[in-house]
Amino acid sequence: MESLAVVVLILFSVAFFAGPLAILLSAKKLTQGIETKDGGLFKFINLLRKITLVILVILALTIGFQFLTISGLPLIPRATGLFAIITSYIALRREFFPQTFIVGSLRRKIRKDK
């Protein structure tokens, strides 16, 4: 029973912390600081940062979808799974699709309609 508790603790920790860590890795100050420097070491650090970000996002999405789709789970694991999915989505958008503005374009469209 103790090993089951450890597995559950690891799953909850990954689901709860992987998304926010991925958001931290996609922060503007960090990415601009690394990408503006020249040299092979900074290119390697940037590549390592992106690989780590993708691994964290994949883990958070996998565990988050599992928590959402398993029937019979209480509200807390489902909320944790939803949190993992949302934070992973935010990290992916910030890193790989920074020019996509869904909310901003909706606001502009609403203002034009008025």
| Mean pLDDT computed over 24-42 | 84
Q: Which residues contact 7 (CB under 8 A, 6 or more apart)?
A: none
Q: CB 5: neighbour CB atoms within 10 A?
A: 9
pLDDT at residue 54, as a whole number: 94
88-97 burial code (b ≥16 CB/10 A, e <16): bbbbbebbee
Q: What pLDDT, in 10s, does the model give residues 90-111?
A: 999 988 887 766 666 666 666 6
> 13 pLDDT band (50/70/90 cuts)?
very high
- Supply the pTM of this predicted model: 0.80
Q: What pLDDT, in 10s, does the model give residues 46-95?
A: 889 999 999 999 999 999 999 999 988 899 999 999 999 999 999 999 88
Contact 85, 60 (CB under 8 A): yes
